[in-house]
Amino acid sequence: MLLAVPELLSAEQVRQARALLDRATWVDGKATAGHQSAQVKNNEQIPEGSAEARALGDLIVAAIERNPLFISAALPARVFPPLFNRYGVGMTFGAHVDNAIRTVTGTATRIRTDVSCTLFLAEPGEYDGGELVIEDTYGTQSVKLPAGHAVVYPSTSLHRVEPVTRGARVASFFWMQSMIRDDGRRAMLFDLDMAIQRIRADLPPGHPGPVQLTATYHNLLRQWAEV
């Protein structure tokens, strides 16, 4: 399931993030790439564990926890500390699939990458090119969102970043180990959750329909979840 999450960060939070990133040290993005990905990756990142990465990562994780749409779509059990990249003119990231397991730097913590997320931190008008192109169940999707908006998609998806031809594309990217490993089951639970919310808004208080559907949702979650 591919889903755009609007306004994960507010405009003020984006301004704070960009100010920190403008002061950060940028290094070759190949530092966090696997063997295959490194052959097609050409971008810059701020080092994992840097003060800027930690501060902005905490900001993003807190925003995730406050966003019901994001939680419903990803059902995160663990969130990899957010990373940050920049694509200047001529930079790109060819087609690849994200590593299945990521180890949090400096720890023994391993996270299975079930769900990938890109959080855009530059406005679309600031740069040309740089689209995130994702091949999912329903074909090829090209994504370029306003600053503060995010897209979540299965980490099993083949994806790429198109070459930037003007300006700079700045974003955060990270992965989640979901309570629901299977993307089809996550999508089913998401659709059910959205339907429950719509029905609850349409029916009078105390109607048994939403209660019964909510019970079904939680019983499916109980049956499928890994925590």
Same domain, 91 and 191: no
pLDDT tens string 97-154: 999 999 998 899 999 999 999 999 999 999 999 999 999 877 899 999 999 999 999 9
How many distinct structural domains can be found in the chain? 2
pLDDT tens string 5-50: 999 999 999 999 999 999 999 999 777 666 666 678 899 999 988 9
Same domain, 169 and 92: yes
- Select from 79, 64, 80 the least CA-distant residue to 13: 64
Same domain, 126 and 139: yes
The sign of the dihedral angle between the CA atoms of 113, 123, 130, 42 is negative
* CATH label of the domain that carries residue 129: 2.60.120.620
**Per-residue confidence (pLDDT) for residue 141, from 0 to 100:** 95
**Per-residue confidence (pLDDT) for residue 226, from 0 to 100:** 93
| Inter-CA distances, 79 with 83, 91, 147, Å | 11, 27, 21
Kindly give the pairing relationship between strand 41-42 and strand 3-5. unpaired
**Per-residue confidence (pLDDT) for residue 34, from 0 to 100:** 61
Helix/strand number for the chain, H first, E second = 6, 17
Same domain, 150 and 46: yes
Q: Which domain holds residue 110?
A: 3-178
d(CA 143, CA 177): 22
Same domain, 77 and 143: yes
* CATH label of the domain that carries residue 191: 4.10.860
Percent of the chain with pLDDT strictly greater than 70: 96
Same domain, 20 and 40: yes
**Per-residue confidence (pLDDT) for residue 29, from 0 to 100:** 79
